Chain A
Amino acid sequence: MKDFFKPRRIVMIALALAVVVLCAIKLNWTWLPDYLDRVPLAIWRTVWLTVVTMILGMLLAIPLGLAQAVGPAYLAIPARIYCSIIRGTPLLLQLWLLYYGLGSVFAQFPEIRESFMWPILRQAWPYAVLALTLSVAGYEGEVMRGAFKGVPGGQLEAARAMGMPRFTIFRRIWLPQALHRVLPTIGGETVLQMKSTPLVATITVVDIYSLSKRVTQDTFVVYEPLLLLAVVYMIMAGLIVLLFRWFESRIPSRTA
């Protein structure tokens, strides 16, 4: 820790703090009190979207990765096609396709409004969750494919030789080791996922980015909300990185 605070670093940190103080004094923050009460809910929405879609997406990614790593062709090829499509098209387009594309189907078939699914289909956040989850699954499916392939084959053979049932091997050896291998990558992908959440503002889900745009539209102040928004995202990214470092420290691993 002491190494970190070399003289040049102290100078840089002091400069950065000076810039922050200058911004706090000279820029226009008069709008802040009016909107402060909406901030916690908006941040919660961003956090909630990131966490839920990462978890659901990973749940979907594990079978996708497994299918591509060892699956029979009739499972591996569709999984491959799915991952290619998701990774080959922009998330914004996927979001709009799901929300407005399906919306136009609803317009054509008014009978859907009578069904029990309607209260959910009506709102915007299910589509955001769906699109983000499918996106995570597409990207992480590729990552998990590499992870499953990378677990040393000897371990799996030894377990099989011991007579372990296939699912137990998967549960006790293959999956945990695969996850441990890619934990740093998943941490990075979680940060990327958090950075994709602003796009849901275009389908009327109110997250912290949408709130900052609302400030700009109401008050015509352009930079200050964006700067504050950038700071909020930086803090959240930092927290995610710290969280994943803690995860990694919990699992004992030998480094050469």
Chain B
Amino acid sequence: MKKIALVAAMALTFGSAALAEPLKIGIAAEPYPPFASPDAAGNWVGWEVDFINAVCAAGEMECVVTPVAWEGIIPSLTGGQIDAIMASMSITEERSKTIAFSDKYYNTPTVIVATKGAGMTADPAGMAGKIIGVQVSTVHEAYAQKHFTEAAEIKTYQTTDEGFQDLAAGRIDASQADSIAIDAFMATDAGKACCEVVGEVADDEAVLGLGVGVGLRQGEDELKAKFNAAIAKVIADGTYDSLSKPYFASSIYGG
């Protein structure tokens, strides 16, 4: 009985061991439409999932999309549970101290959406005395902590959607997020009824970063080169534009 238990335990452990061949690409386990969100069958769909498949095909890598909780995604990478992060993670100096990034694959402005008619503007003066919602562990949280913290109260949420939900409910006055995520929210009935976009925030490259890139462990230069080559190929041969068409009116590659 004891032996059976021991063998079973070992089988479980080693049976689930990674055979190290497919690359585990970590995406956030929280919905982030239109980039990645689960459908009713439990599959993850969205622009970023399509992009991951395109990059892996271009780089001839075998990839497995692995949802990981957003808060623990960087420790998961450094701890070896995943091999790359493609979860709309912005390339920032702070993150670059711990992980490495590939070249960017999109860059969109950061925008503030607020309750209709509140008369807010996207700067500290216009935020005075209000409550802003941001997602934890994002550049938006860092930006809000740096620029808006004296003027306004900042609330952090596990997911951007929960922040938008509270915005629609009126619990917060504004939300700062990526313009595409906000566009997706404004396309919903709740968004149209409650809120309006008040504009882009003043750029702060140190905090907001230089666009979104693939997160990799430091020192894995070969993998980084592979990803850079694959991204360049996807952009060059037009796959980038063709997979963006169903989602976006114009290219999100950015400057």
Q: Does A163 contact B (CB under 8 A)?
A: no
Contact assessment for B169 and A204 in the assembled complex, using a CB-CB cutoff below 8 Å: no
A residues near B65, Cβ cutoff 8 Å = none
A106 within 8 A of partner (CB): yes
Decide: A122 and B158 in contact? CB cutoff 8 A.
Answer: no
From B74, B94, B155, give the contact of A124 (CB < 8 A): B155
CA distance A218 to B171 in the complex (A): 25
Q: Kindly state the separation between the CA atoms of A103 and B137 in the bound complex, as whole angstroms.
A: 23
Q: Size class of B's contact patch?
A: 20 to 34
Question: Is A103 a contact partner of B166 (Cβ separation < 8 A)?
Answer: yes
Contact of B251 with A by CB under 8 A: no
Q: What CA separation (Å) do A217 and B142 show in the bound complex?
A: 10
The reply to whether B136 and A217 form a contact with Cβ atoms under 8 Å apart is: yes
CB distance from A219 to the nearest CB of B (A): 9
Q: Does B239 contact A (CB under 8 A)?
A: no
A223 to chain B, nearest CB (A): 10
> At the interface, yes or no: B170 with Cβ under 8 Å from chain A?
yes
Contact across chains for B165 and A107 when beta carbons are under 8 A apart = yes
Point out the residues of chain B lying under 8 angstroms from A118, CB to CB: 170
Judge whether B47 is part of the interface by a CB distance below 8 angstroms.
no
Q: Which residues of the partner chain B approach A112 to less than 8 Å between Cβ atoms?
A: 170
- State whether A103 touches B171 (Cβ < 8 A): yes
In the bound complex, residues from chain A placing their C-beta under 8 Å from that of B142 are: 218
CB distance from A125 to the nearest CB of B (A): 12
Q: Which residues of B contact A158 (CB under 8 A)?
A: none
- Alpha-carbon distance A122/B136, docked complex (angstroms): 20
Give Cα A104 to B164, complex, Å: 11
> Judging by beta carbons under 8 Å apart, are A113 and B170 in contact?
yes
**Chain A residue with Cβ nearest B190:** A107
15 contacts across the A-B interface (CB closer than 8 A): A104-B168, A104-B169, A107-B168, A107-B169, A107-B170, A107-B190, A118-B170, A204-B156, A216-B71, A217-B71, A217-B136, A217-B137, A218-B94, A218-B142, A220-B75
17 additional A-B pairs beyond A216-B75, A220-B97, beta carbons within 8 Å, are A100-B165, A103-B171, A104-B169, A106-B169, A106-B170, A106-B171, A107-B169, A110-B194, A118-B170, A124-B155, A204-B155, A213-B136, A217-B137, A218-B142, A220-B74, A220-B75, A220-B98
Q: Hey, which bits of chain A sit against chain B, CB under 8 A?
A: 100, 103-104, 106-107, 110, 112-113, 118, 121-124, 202, 204, 213-214, 216-218, 220, 222
Q: B residues touching A (Cβ–Cβ < 8 Å)?
A: 71, 74-75, 78, 94-95, 97-98, 136-137, 141-142, 155-158, 162, 165-166, 168-171, 190, 194
